[in-house]
Amino acid sequence: MFVGLGEIEHRIKSLREFGVNQLELACYPAFALGFMPRCLKQLMSASAKGPRPQVSLQVLSSSEVRDRVVSGLADFGLMAD
């Protein structure tokens, strides 16, 4: 669950400090219905003072989420294993 927290912190810092405006997300369907919309709403609220990042959310199976993150096609992935 906590593998990659340093990478997540680094990516968020990049969004804030360096004006990175593209965020690629991949997640398991169960997380796409409730958890991710709440997180994205909070992200957009926090970004109200500056440019909002463009967010792409792919809803995929756990193995597809893992493959996208490993290949660098997604910045973050939430899955159930």
Task: Please give the DSSP secondary-structure letter assigned to residue 22.
Answer: E
CATH number at residue 52: 3.40.190.10
Q: Count how many domains the chain has.
A: 1
Torsion of CA 15, 70, 55, 42, to 10 degrees: -70
Greatest Cα pair distance in the chain = 37
Q: Can you give the residue range of the structural domain that contains 33?
A: 5-78
pLDDT digits (tens, 9 = 90+) for 21-67: 788 899 999 888 888 888 888 777 765 666 667 888 999 999 999 99
DSSP-derived secondary structure for 33-69:
HTHHHHHHHHHHHHTTTSPPPEEEEEE--HHHHHHHH
Query: What confidence score (pLDDT) does residue 6 get?
Result: 67
What is the model's pTM? 0.71
